[in-house]
A and B are shown apart, each in its own frame.
Chain A
């Protein structure tokens, strides 16, 4: 950015003070002193926190995934038993597929829903105040408890819940639907409920930045509403859609509590495999599953990051 116009005058001062020695380029020490706030010093606390509470723990998980375990303890080793067991079990693959299925379903639904909401706020609400008010209404639940929001579905979806009772009163069904709660349906519903905001916010953010004259130009060139949507709006919103997708996919892939709670412990995903091992104190097994999950998530994110430059979107 403007690092040049910041260092340039200082550099000339330096060379004026000590002619000939540091032509143009101030020494590191001098820069730290003259900047007062050195970038390194400023970045140090964040670096330390992330090194100690993110990188070191993840590294430890990788190490422990090669350790051995007995039924009551774990011991350092370099063995592949945990991976052999994990990758040799049919259960792993079906659980892995189930996890991907939830991620895909949630991603597809939240993308369409989030895009629609953002589109409505951007192009149909014309007053900035109302845009902010409605946008806040959409985001406030994000700052409240996920667990409470999950619990809130029980009186709605239960066997004698509001949904079943209304449907029976309307005569649509004769007996309660069993698949409303503790099913793939309820898990997906809860995911959509919890995570649509992660799509709305970044898509709305990019959509608001679209130059309205581009849309006017498209209309002047004879494009109809649908063509404007597919040829102008959607391509320009891709970065927001990508950022939202990264959030939703990683949150669903790494989830264990939503699946556990909303399926009544009847459906498993990768997170629940990990949690089960943890509750059995089988940490090396949990670590091996964690590594597989981590690699999967990082690959997915790497692919999505190729399609968007986050630093440019900030």
Chain B
């Protein structure tokens, strides 16, 4: 806490580095192990290095419908992401004023965050069953995942609008802009960087969601379900290869979002505004 760096700085730096190793170490370990030679097992030592297990992934057969499940996961995450952005912005705008039922809705949103995933999964599955509807990744799983991504999106938007300077809107309104024009030309550009944050949550939480999809996806799996299935019957490093690939994919997605957010923030720093700083 002192300006000069005392003993506590070095101790805490050590703790922080250990924490990072703890966070990333296992992931790096399986990334290394996924390059095992064809004879290699699930743990060290490495028996040669090869791309054998990655090649296995691309060959049809042994490991189920990985690419089909990847495509479905991708499509589902895009659907969830777009829906989360649109509904969160609308919800954020709605909550700028108190309205009848707003407190109840707020606590339902919190409930959506704290109710165990398995209950949502079970409930949605049962409901579709009782209604005589088929469960599908693009209907029941889509809805079940929204109950997890929407609270994050909405809470981000609430935080953003709490810090939002209304004088810009008032200025536009004074000049005769209609509500849609105010939203399109004033509000939307100002909240855009935070929307990238909402998009990131919407996409990644859906892409990796397991529990809420388990009982709602039906016969055609998403990628996390496919990977889960593999853990019970695959005992070769092919599962590490898949894990490494999907983690690399996640890193690329996260990196893209972060770069976008930084660019937006730079652009905005040039025009004078402090909106959107609520979310990093």
Whether B43 lies near A160 (C-beta < 8 A) is yes
Whether A147 is near chain B, meaning CB under 8 Å from some CB there, is: yes
A271 touching B116, Cβ below 8 Å? yes
Beta-carbon contact of B43 and A151 below 8 Å: no
Tell whether B23 is near chain A: CB-to-CB under 8 Å: yes
Cross-chain contact B93 with A42 (CB below 8 angstroms):
yes
Stretch among B49-57, B59-67, B120-128, B266-274 lining the A interface: B120-128
Contacting pair A57 B23 (CB below 8 A) = no
How far is B154's CA from A46's CA once the two chains are assembled, in angstroms? 9
Verify A310–B110 contact, CB threshold 8 A: yes
**Min distance, Cβ B64 to any Cβ of chain A, angstroms:** 15
Nearest CB in chain A: distance from B90 CB, A: 4
Q: A147 touching B93 by the CB < 8 A rule?
A: no
> In the assembled complex, which residues on chain A have CB atoms less than 8 Å from the CB atom of B162?
314
B227 contacts A43, C-beta separation under 8 Å? no
- What is the bound-complex CA distance between A31 and B30, given in angstroms? 59
> Of the candidates B16, B90, B120, which one forms a contact with A46 in the assembled complex, judged by CB atoms under 8 Å apart?
B90
Of residues 127 through 176 on chain A, the ones whose CB sits less than 8 Å from some CB of chain B are 132, 134-138, 140-141, 143-149, 151-156, 158, 160-162, 165
Pick from B33, B207, B231, B246: contact of A261, CB below 8 A: B231
Contact for A145 among B9, B12, B227, CB less than 8 A: B227
Interface size range on B against A: 35 or more
A148 partner residues in chain B, CB cutoff 8 A: 27, 30, 227, 243, 246-247
In the assembled complex, B81 has its CB within 8 A of some CB on chain A: no
Contacts of A72 in B (CB 8 A): none
Question: In whole angstroms, how far apart are the Cα atoms of A310 and B154 in the complex?
Answer: 13
A145–B246 CB distance below 8 A: yes
On chain A, the residues within 8 Å of B9 by CB distance are 124
- A–B pairs, 27, beta carbons within 8 Å: A3-B97, A39-B93, A39-B94, A39-B96, A43-B95, A43-B105, A45-B91, A46-B87, A53-B120, A53-B144, A56-B127, A57-B124, A64-B126, A113-B19, A137-B23, A143-B201, A144-B250, A147-B208, A148-B246, A154-B42, A155-B30, A162-B43, A193-B22, A274-B119, A283-B126, A293-B119, A314-B155
